[in-house]
Amino acid sequence: MNGPLSLDDLAREPEQFTCDLHTAGGSPFTARLLRSDDGDRLGLYFDNLGPSVRGMYGPHPLHAAHAALLCGSIDCDQLLPFVAIVNDPDDAESHAIAGYFLVQVGLRDGDRQRYIDHGHPLTEQECCTFAPCIADAWQSRGLGSALFAHLATSLRRLGRRQLVLWGGVRSDNPRAQHFYRKFGFRHVGDFGVKGLNNLDMVLDL
């Protein structure tokens, strides 16, 4: 059941990455890949994110129109968006998204050269690129840690050996840096964007 998996296998059976989990504090949630019928719930999740998350999360706009675009173009060869689904205790059918961890298969053009410049070249076929985002009300409650452990196990099943940060992490984001270091990410270099220092980090999976 947990043997090696190809991207073709995953495209046929995306539920291979579905898992019922708990945070360390005991809150249940389901981790799975984003589906084409998630547009409304992902749109709601994006629209409700607060300004501090928007300032820290760089890969793409966080609004309902982009959620519809993502759900309308699901392609496991390119992007693996993991979501954490929680249920409101008063509404067992709510299935709200509380976390969204975006993985790109391979490296992004915008990141690749920086790792070469840091003296840390990466192998496209062995890498994935990662950007996490947890709903404001769920941050610092262990949801991200539980979702990340599942994501790392899932990427190992695909034979991926390294995970890098999508656009790095801002130096003024201590929580995210703590989160990455806790899981073994190593700081391999810095770069500046609009006067802000950012850290590039790599995890050997």
**3-class secondary-structure state, position 184:** coil
The sign of the dihedral angle between the CA atoms of 88, 83, 164, 24 is positive
Contact between 129 and ligand COA per CB under 6 A: no
Residues in the chain: 205
**Interface pattern 18-57 for ligand COA (x via CB under 6 A):** -----------------------------------x--xx
Question: Interhelix angle for 39-47 vs 64-71, to 10°?
Answer: 150
At residue 41, φ and ψ (nearest 5 deg) are -70, -35
Binders of ligand COA among 146-175, rule CB under 6 A? 165, 169, 173-175
Residue nearest to ligand COA (CB): 144
Q: How far apart are CB 131 and ligand COA at their closest, in Å?
A: 6
Q: Give the whole-angstrom CA distance, residue 47 versus residue 39.
A: 12
Closest to ligand COA by CB, 15 or 190: 190
Q: How far apart are CB 57 and ligand COA at their closest, in Å?
A: 5
Q: Give the whole-angstrom CA distance, residue 134 versus residue 25.
A: 16
Q: Which residues bind ligand COA (CB under 6 A)?
A: 53, 56-57, 132-134, 139-145, 165, 169, 173-176, 178-179, 182
